[in-house]
Amino acid sequence: MLYLVPFWIAFLVGILVGWAWKPKWAELLIQKLSSVVSKSLELSLPSSSSMSPMFCLKNSGSSSCLNSLNMQPEAWVTDNGEQGKTLSVSPSEYDNSSTSRSVVNEGCSSAITEEDLKHLCQLVEMRDGGPTWMHMMDRSTPNMSYQAWRRDPKTGPPQYRSRTVFENATARIVRDFFWDDEFRPKWDDMLAYSATIEECSTTGTMVVQWIRKFPFFCSDREYIIGRRIWEVDGSYYCVTKGVTCASVPRRSKPKRVDLYYSSWYIRAVESRRGNGQLTACEVLLFHHEDMGIPWEIAKLGVRQGMWGTVKKIEPGLCAYQKERESLASLSQSAYMAQVNTKISMEYLISLESNEDLSRSDVDSTSENPLAQNISRALIYGGLIVLACSLDHGALSKTFIFGMGRKLTDRGNRPS
């Protein structure tokens, strides 16, 4: 400890000084590079007077029933000549208080398939063959209970599993609540912008664009998300995951998150008040994503901010229930939540019958924060500022992790 303290004091002072000093030549270089990249993107896109060169939506080619999209405020034209209205807001103009709806497209998308449904079923039944779940948290409020687990696969980011039970809520209203992008900013202050890229009136499949705000030391993140709902006997399997979308060009900022998975299983359950009535709603959530920061630091951030984020959901759901009672019309995204694929339990079982995976276990032993080594925590705390500056290209992840491991090993050696 005596060896590390002066080292990290000098290190943090150096980082703060370096952060405050922003050479003009570096900013000019970045601007020139951005200009070159944007021009090359414009030249690579089809030239048309009806297309916006910086945010042009074209045929994705994933399915024959997806129509070409045109980001024009007047109208869009489908392949069969039908016209419909559209609203357009450039992602560069997003703010922190509102969401925007983009092009609505009639068609059938293959962004989410039955393979995704089967995978979610295996996660719900803990038959996906993954590692053991470690218990992280058990919290509750008068109208909500919450439990969370985490596991670390051999490859990929850490994965999270949670179980939330809302009192006095139906599965249908909770399903719509999580799908409603227009209402979400009222309880999710990280969502800065949302737009619908594609939607299918037959299956309810949607492709949406999200831009989420992160703390000051990280830049915003962009998500291209495909999502779809299956209904089984009044329960809902809601799949959302990151998908590729060639029609939305990748930009330097905000940084796009390619690996993203966040899916729910929603069903009615008995209230914990013991009245024997199915007046509560259970939500099983499975989530993982690669935000582009070191996974150990991401785990620390999730642990510290998880409950603060989750406890905002219950008052948001109450406000949503009141708003739905007073409003006759639904938002477009809430309406699409009601367009889902109904299947039987027998069909669901048949999807899984050709898979024989080992059962994933849930460890009932909680993670003990006191078991973490003090020097390791000190090192990761000192690395937070540096690691989160990766977006600015300061240092490589390899160098950061290499230095962190060496210092951790040195701090753990017996004197």
Q: What is the pLDDT of residue 214?
A: 79
Peptide bond into 254 cis (omega under 30): yes
pTM comes to 0.66
Per-residue pLDDT for 285 more than 60? yes
Task: Output the CA–CA distances (angstroms, integers) from residue 15 to 97, 219, 301, 382, in the order listed.
Answer: 32, 18, 20, 10
**Residue with more model confidence, 85 or 311:** 311
**Mean local confidence (pLDDT), 345-359:** 74
Q: What is the pLDDT of residue 300?
A: 84
Q: What is the pLDDT of residue 18?
A: 58
**Mean local confidence (pLDDT), 370-382:** 48
Q: How confident is the model at residue 23 (pLDDT cuts 50, 70, 90)?
A: low
Can you name the residues that pair with 256 across neighbouring β-strands? 222
3-class SS of residue 9: helix
**Mean local confidence (pLDDT), 78-94:** 41
CB 72 within 8 A of CB 86: yes
Q: What is the pLDDT of residue 49?
A: 37
**Cβ-based neighbour number of residue 155 at 10 Å:** 4
Per-residue pLDDT for 327 more than 80? no
Least trusted range by pLDDT, from 50-54, 164-168, 404-408: 50-54
- Tell me the pairing of strands 133-141 and 362-366: parallel
Least trusted range by pLDDT, from 32-36, 115-119, 291-295: 32-36
Q: What is the pLDDT of residue 192?
A: 93
Least trusted range by pLDDT, from 88-102, 181-195, 252-266, 344-358: 88-102
Per-residue pLDDT for 321 more than 50? yes
Percent of the chain with pLDDT over 90: 42
Per-residue pLDDT for 222 more than 90? yes
Per-residue pLDDT for 26 more than 60? no
Token digits for 410?
């040195």
Q: What is the pLDDT of residue 8?
A: 73
**Residue with more model confidence, 252 or 237:** 237
User: Cα-flanking dihedrals φ and ψ of residue 335, to 5°?
Assistant: -65, -40
Q: How confident is the model at residue 109 (pLDDT cuts 50, 70, 90)?
A: low
38/249 Cα distance (integer angstroms) = 10
Q: How confident is the model at residue 332 (pLDDT cuts 50, 70, 90)?
A: very high
**Residue with more model confidence, 50 or 218:** 218
Per-residue pLDDT for 408 more than 90? no
Q: Which of 364, 290, 367, 352 is nearest to 128 (CA)?
A: 352
Per-residue pLDDT for 15 more than 70? no
Per-residue pLDDT for 221 more than 80? yes
Q: Summarize pLDDT for 133-177 with one digit per residue, the tens.
A: 999 999 999 999 999 999 999 988 999 999 999 999 999 999 999
Q: Summarize pLDDT for 190-199 with one digit per residue, the tens.
A: 999 999 999 9
**Mean local confidence (pLDDT), 41-69:** 39
Tell the burial category of 229 from Cβ atoms under 10 Å away from its Cβ (0-12, 13-18, 19+).
buried
Per-residue pLDDT for 361 more than 90? no
Mean residue pLDDT of the chain comes to: 74
Q: How confident is the model at residue 376 (pLDDT cuts 50, 70, 90)?
A: low
**Residue with more model confidence, 273 or 382:** 273
